[in-house]
Amino acid sequence: MPDLDIYMVISRKYQVFDQSGKLPFSIIFGLCRRSSDDADPRPLRLSTRQTILDVPYALSHNLLQLRKYNAKTKTDIQVDTWQMDSSSGNESYLTLPSPVGKTDNWTSCLTEYHYRVNPGSELASLFETGGKYTIKNFTGWKLGADKYAYIDEQGGISPPSKEQKLVCRRASGRPTFEVVESLPWPPEIQTKMQRYKDTNDNTTLVDVTVTNLGGQAVTVQTRGRQCFLIPHGAYQPEEDFPPEDPRPRIIDPEISSASDTIQVFDLSTNKVVRRAKGAGPGGCGHPQKDLRPKLDTLMTLRPGDPLLRRIDVSNILSDLPDGEYGLRMEPRGMWWCNGDREDFGAEAEDRVPHDIFSTLIPPLMLKSEDIVKVQVENCVARA
């Protein structure tokens, strides 16, 4: 009887494990059914317990390996995980859609399963501060899943009509991560957005006000390649966090258009009619030796001192049919550091000093829940 092929990708949510627990960490598995012999149109239900998805079980049963990088020998050394308690995994299920009728690339058909690693867990106790680790698929093809079932149209559970073993015909990904005791955390900021109506022409303006609610000055990067910790899915970074996103943030003093950040939606249907521009390829195709931000891409947010930017949004409202629309800001992360930009110029360089720059930081998020409502008539927003 032919086996049922499963494709699998292994990844991790972040490239660091934060022992303080403030930044969540998960081992991520992406799976999809890709067998030419898999002709069943029903979704397949797979238990995660005592499978490769149950990470402590997988590590203690030779399905996965945990390896630590040795800087002296420049090799990865296997960590002893044989004695791990693998009996306490929670029962959960993963549903894999049928491949019948699908022609998409397998990478776009992945169903993700996130195994959360908590700082107080037995697995986390194996991670040493400063260590660099890799999770490796050791067996190559074994999933450790002997039992599975199908979900019928009524939602009932049905056993397979014939016995077929689930095997991993393609497994990729060797997630690596570094262990840190804690991470610097960005201060809280408040971002407000409202319409500015004191205009004498057909220009539509929006005021964006950002206030630093923390106790010290923070300097942020408002344009250029942004390097900070971004969350990953099974195969690539999450959609809202493109790597090295170079789009100017809406508070950048040289911003010429709101189209990089502002999204327009129809208030009557809640349907997005004009999305913000995509990030493009970013810096991935053009490696940059010095990742430190240039000083002219920085600005400082001082405690209790609101920063106001008045943005012309007329261009993103042009050519829209008559109706009522909402403008909202898409969240954007920014590289940041504590301190005032004016203090960095003493180093006689045009970039952030080496001792201040780090990419192992969560981004400072520029986001707002405010919605600016506009009534468009004859391609112009009514005052």
Per-residue pLDDT reduced to its tens digit, 39-61: 889 999 998 988 899 999 999 98
Residue bearing the bigger pLDDT, 39 or 115: 115
Which residue, 365, 364, 335, 363, is CA-closest to 351? 335
What phi and psi, each to the nearest 5 degrees, are found at residue 182? Answer: -160, 170
Same domain, 145 and 202: no
pLDDT at 281: 59
Residue 221 pLDDT greater than 90, yes or no: yes
Domain, as residue range, for 236: 189-381
Report the percentage of the chain scoring pLDDT > 70: 94
Q: Which of 180, 198, 228 is the last residue of a domain?
A: 180
Residue 62 pLDDT greater than 50, yes or no: yes
Give yes or no for a contact between 28 and 11, defined as CB atoms under 8 angstroms apart: yes
Counting Cβ atoms within 10 Å, is residue 266 exposed (0-12), middle (13-18) or buried (19+)? middle
Same domain, 194 and 116: no
Same domain, 157 and 218: no
Q: Provide the pLDDT confidence category of residue 212 given band limits of 50, 70 and 90.
A: very high
Q: Provide the pLDDT confidence category of residue 345 given band limits of 50, 70 and 90.
A: low
Residue 313 pLDDT greater than 80, yes or no: yes
Same domain, 333 and 357: yes
Query: Domain total for the chain?
Result: 2
Same domain, 236 and 368: yes
Same domain, 355 and 231: yes
Sign of CA pseudo-dihedral 331, 333, 334, 337: positive
Same domain, 228 and 268: yes
Same domain, 293 and 374: yes
pLDDT at 284: 46
Same domain, 212 and 230: yes
Which residue, 181, 36, 175, is CA-closest to 115? 175
Q: Provide the pLDDT confidence category of residue 85 given band limits of 50, 70 and 90.
A: confident
Residue 369 pLDDT greater than 80, yes or no: yes
Same domain, 152 and 64: yes
Q: Provide the pLDDT confidence category of residue 25 given band limits of 50, 70 and 90.
A: very high
Same domain, 108 and 172: yes
Q: Provide the pLDDT confidence category of residue 383 given band limits of 50, 70 and 90.
A: low
Report the percentage of the chain scoring pLDDT > 90: 63
How much is the pTM?
A: 0.88
Same domain, 244 and 287: yes
129-137 mean pLDDT: 95
| The two structure tokens encoding residue 184 | 């610097």
Q: What is the pLDDT of residues 151-205, one digit of tens each?
A: 988 888 988 777 777 888 777 889 999 999 999 999 999 999 999 988 777 789 9
Residue 286 pLDDT greater than 80, yes or no: no
